[in-house]
Chains A and B, each alone.
Chain A
Amino acid sequence: MSIQNLNTYDPFADAIKSSEDDVQDGLVHVRIQQRNGRKTLTTVQGLSSEYDLKKIVRACKKEFACNGTVVEHPEYGEVLQLQGDQRENICQWLTKSGLVKPEQLKVHGF
Chain B
Amino acid sequence: MDDDMVFDPSLKKKKKKKTGFDLDAALAGEQGESTSVEAPAGTGDVDLPEDDNLDLDNFGKKKKKKKKGVFNMEELESTLPETPPAEEPEQQEDEVIDDLDLDIDFSKTKKKKKKKNIEELVLEDDKGEDQENVEDVSGDLWSGTDRDYTYDELLERVFDIMREKNPSMVSGKKQKFIMRPPQVVRIGTKKTSFANFTEICKTLHRQPKHLLDFLLAELGTSGSVDGNSQLIIKGRFQQKQIENVLRRYIKEYVTCHTCRSPDTILQKDTRLFFLQCETCGSRCSVASIKSGFQAVTGKRAAIRAKTA
Contacts and interface: CB of A to CB of B under 8 A. Distances in A.
Q: Are A and B bound to each other?
A: yes
Interface of A: 29, 31-36, 41, 43, 45, 71, 73, 76, 79, 81, 108-110
A86 B156 CA distance: 53
B293 A110 contact: no
Contact of A110 (B244, B295, B297): B244
A109 B293 contact: no
Contacts of B218: 108-110
Given A36-B297, A109-B220, 6 more contacts: A32-B220, A34-B235, A43-B292, A81-B295, A110-B240, A110-B241
Given A110-B242, A110-B245, A71 B220 contact: no
Contact of A33 (B237, B241, B297): B297
The winner among B238, B241, B242, B295 for most chain A CB atoms within 10 A is B295
B219 A45 contact: no
Interface residues of B, number: 19
Contact residues of A: prevailing secondary structure: strand
A41 B221 CA distance: 12
Contacts of A73: 293
A8 B293 CA distance: 46
B202 interface: no
A29 B292 contact: yes
B236 interface: yes
B220 A31 contact: yes
B31 interface: no
B221 A45 contact: no
A73 B218 CA distance: 19
Contact of A31 (B235, B237, B244, B293): B293
A37 B220 CA distance: 15
Contacts of B245: 109-110
B294 interface: yes
Nearest to A81: B295
Interface in B226-241: 235-238, 240-241
Contacts of A33: 220-221, 294-295, 297
A107 to B, nearest CB: 10
B45 to A, nearest CB: 53
